[in-house]
Copies of this chain bind each other. A is one copy, B any other.
Amino acid sequence: MPQSYSSQSMTNNVDAATFKFSVVNEAIFSCTVLQEAFKRYEPLIFGRRPETLYFHSQARRNVGVSGDIDELVVQLGKPCNDVDAPSLQSDESYKLTVQNGQAMLSANELWGVIRGLETFSQIVYQSPTGGMVVNNTVISDFPRFNHRGVMLDTSRHYVSKKTILKNLDAMTQNKYNVFHWHIVDDPSFPYQSANFPELSQKGAYDPETHVYTQSDIQEIIEYARLRGIRVVPEFDSPGHTQSWGKGRPDLLTKCYSGSSPNGQFGPVDPSNNATFTFLKQFFMEVGNAFPDKYIHLGGDEVSFACWQSNPDVQAFVKRMGYSDYSQVEQYYMQQLLDIVGGLGKGYQIWQEVIDNGAKVQADTVVEVWKAGWEDEMNKVTKLGYKTLLATCWYLNYISYGSDWTKYYGCEPYNFPGTEDQKKLIQGGETCMWGEYVDDTNLMSRLWPRASAVAERLWSAQSVSNVQEATPRFIEHRCRMVGRGFPAEPINGPGFCREEYIVD
């Protein structure tokens, strides 16, 4: 739901044969993002029989024709070029006006055009007489939050490039703008490193078929950029690194039973200087491979038992004068943060890094994921850090029935804190952890449930009534199905005019 939306009962005919996108000033539009967006949206507008639209069922529909629309005129506030990429600071606002045979979309930045094209594609519908029409409409829109992410976990199960790309299409059509790529974790290391090929050679489920090559990654990043989506990779450490140890066993702490190693490995070994030499080289590569300002450094769920058992770490603790193993974690993260900060990168981190007292850069984005998020968001924003909410939106957890209302009802501002603290909330992330998800079920499990979170993060805080959202949600589910996404039914019995076509 746009921030401001009004429509009238008069409609305009939109004829696929004559319709085109046009631009106010040709010279400033010589960029791939726009050209590709125009190519994408023409079939999305005309290639299907859209459902009866919620938007227009709000107005009286189709009571008279006020004109024929042959073009959507696009106006952009500044020249675009092929190095433009979305960022946390992107301006995604746009204005869309359809009036008596004229249609105009204007935005300050490219990314607003991308969002506005999606909206335009949603308000064109098939009239009862068969032709495509759009009501006279005025929309002025912008996102409530700048960071609206979907996290995929490609370590617990491998997810194909094809599914990742398809999911980026679903994301942009739901106005998501960050793909948080939890690319490696304990079970497997599918990132194929240019400088450390042994990591995926030994750590991937299969070094040939279950990896992301550098070329795959560049393709995914470019595909995302064209859709106004940032790719923030997560290389979680010092815990969740078992798969790193397959290729580089020296990296992990050897766990001891009594006086000898027991064959198990723990978190990254912070007592070994070679650890940080490797991490610096590795993150330099990652920083180049992923051009976004931010890298997610993880830092969650570090178990101390193995560190405590290891004589080298014990000696290190003594040497450093630590009284507590959380100081080891703090030390490790501090070294890592300094390395990555030194590469000119910002970082996103899980909440534990702050809870453990590490000193982070001012522009750090802290992701809150544990229960009791209200107090944590209060705490993190009091410290002055940019914050994301994830706790409410672990969509890998499933339950029977229309559970989207639960995700829809979670309000990021519902924590004790001042207005200034709330300004630090950058948005949130829908998380799809991979224990029970792979190419067989990822898309149908994520969509349309993630659409509920998308509206929470885009629309005004006051847009929160489930009864009002339900028909929008049902319609949008069918829109996605009609566009070829296996978005599952989620509101009890019903149907879509165009059902999903199985292969």
- Interface of A toward B, CB cutoff 8 Å: 155-158, 160, 162-163, 166, 186-188, 205-206, 209-210, 396-401, 434-441, 443-445, 481, 486-490, 492-495, 497, 499-503
Contact = CB atoms under 8 A, between A and B. Distances in A.
A205 B436 CA distance: 33
**Which secondary structure characterizes the binding site on chain A?**
loop
A489 B155 CA distance: 13
25 contacts: A156-B493, A157-B489, A157-B493, A157-B494, A162-B502, A163-B502, A166-B502, A188-B495, A205-B495, A206-B495, A206-B497, A399-B399, A399-B400, A400-B436, A435-B489, A435-B492, A436-B488, A436-B489, A436-B490, A436-B492, A440-B481, A440-B500, A441-B441, A441-B488, A503-B503
A279 to B, nearest CB: 24
A481 B445 CA distance: 18
B210 A160 contact: no
Nearest to A445: B441
Given A488-B436, A488-B440, A399 B398 contact: yes
A394 B435 CA distance: 23
Contacts of A437: 488-489
A185 to B, nearest CB: 8
A438 B163 contact: no
Contacts of A499: 158, 160, 209-210, 438-439
User: What's the number of copies of this chain in the assembled complex?
Assistant: 2
Given A157-B494, A160-B499, A497-B206, A441 B444 contact: yes
* 5 residue pairs, one from A and one from B, having the closest CB atoms: A503-B503, A440-B486, A187-B493, A156-B493, A205-B495
A191 to B, nearest CB: 15
Given A187-B493, A399-B400, A502-B166, A488 B160 contact: no
Nearest to A435: B492
A401 B494 CA distance: 28
A500 B438 contact: yes
A170 to B, nearest CB: 12
Nearest to A484: B503
A499 B492 CA distance: 31
A47 to B, nearest CB: 17
